[in-house]
Amino acid sequence: MSQNAADRSFEGRLDRNALAALVASDIPHGAYVNLGIGQPTLVSNYLAPGSGVTLHTENGMLGMGPEAHGDEVDLDLINAGKIPVTELPGASYFHHADSFAMMRGGHLDICVLGAYQVSATGDLANWHTGTPGAIPAVGGAMDLAIGARDTFVMMNLLTRDGQSKLVPECTYPLTGLGCVSRVYTDLAVFLIEPDGAVVRESFGIGFEQLQELVPVLLRQ
């Protein structure tokens, strides 16, 4: 199935911003959260000032504010994607070993990551396609995936050629085993539970049609 065909088929699907708003609305008041590079970064646009959510960036900061512009730009103050950001009142700085101890030690409530594939048991593949000649880079993905108390994934459900990215077993190199608890996609939100994947809600597609697309036994 081409992407265009997929677009036409699912008119109620969520766009990236609507999906980011949905993730933001599911983050509890007062949570400590790490947002991965790329699509997950959009979530910060939908965290209300009164949300009480504190953002962590693995290069050594809690209380990260929005992207810096103009005179705010300070090359000593960047996020994990090396984009200049700002600090909020109550922010703190710490070195890299402390930052990852914070993560690995289970002190962060939620991290939101992108993915190439997620398995029915919550295995995550998001760092390397395994393509010959590709230069591998992992960054903090493996630490984040297994460190935060909850790992949420944000991705399109289908690849460009219509293949489900929620799979029985990942075929790309793994980032972490059994670490994903929730998968937010343009077509549905999946809860990864000990006995399998549960569809929490879907967008522009019925359960039967979703089950036809996803080669993993789904429950409602």
Give catalytic residue positions.
58
The answer to whether residue 96 forms part of the interface with another protein (CB under 8 A) is yes
Of the ranges 23-31, 43-51, 129-137, 208-216, which one interacts with another protein (CB under 8 A)?
129-137
The answer to whether residue 122 forms part of the interface with another protein (CB under 8 A) is no
Residue 147 Cβ, how far from another protein at the closest point, in Å? 7
Interatomic CA distance for residues 42 and 67, integer angstroms: 11
Of the ranges 2-10, 132-140, 152-160, 185-193, which one interacts with another protein (CB under 8 A)?
132-140
The answer to whether residue 59 forms part of the interface with another protein (CB under 8 A) is yes
Q: Which residues pair with 54 in a beta bridge?
A: 32
The answer to whether residue 104 forms part of the interface with another protein (CB under 8 A) is yes
By CB under 8 A, the residues from 19 to 38 that bind another protein are none
The answer to whether residue 194 forms part of the interface with another protein (CB under 8 A) is no
Whether 54 contacts 46, CB under 8 Å: no
Taking alpha carbons only, the member of 173, 195, 185 closest to residue 6 is 185
The answer to whether residue 198 forms part of the interface with another protein (CB under 8 A) is no
Q: How many residues bind another protein (CB under 8 A)?
A: 41
DSSP string for 65-134? EEEP-GGG--TT-B-TTS-BEEEEEEEEE--HHHHHHHHHTT---EEEE--SEEETT--EE-S----TTP
The answer to whether residue 137 forms part of the interface with another protein (CB under 8 A) is yes
The answer to whether residue 101 forms part of the interface with another protein (CB under 8 A) is yes
The answer to whether residue 69 forms part of the interface with another protein (CB under 8 A) is no
Interatomic CA distance for residues 220 and 207, integer angstroms: 8
DSSP state for residue 146 in the 8-state scheme: H
Taking alpha carbons only, the member of 35, 42, 48 closest to residue 16 is 42
Among 22, 51, 93, 209, which residue sits at the site for another protein (rule: CB under 8 A)?
93
Query: How many Cβ atoms are within 10 Å of 98's Cβ, its own excluded?
Result: 13
The answer to whether residue 63 forms part of the interface with another protein (CB under 8 A) is no
Residues in contact with another protein by the rule CB under 8 A: 57-61, 74-78, 82, 87, 93-97, 99-101, 103-104, 123, 128, 133, 135-143, 146-147, 173-177
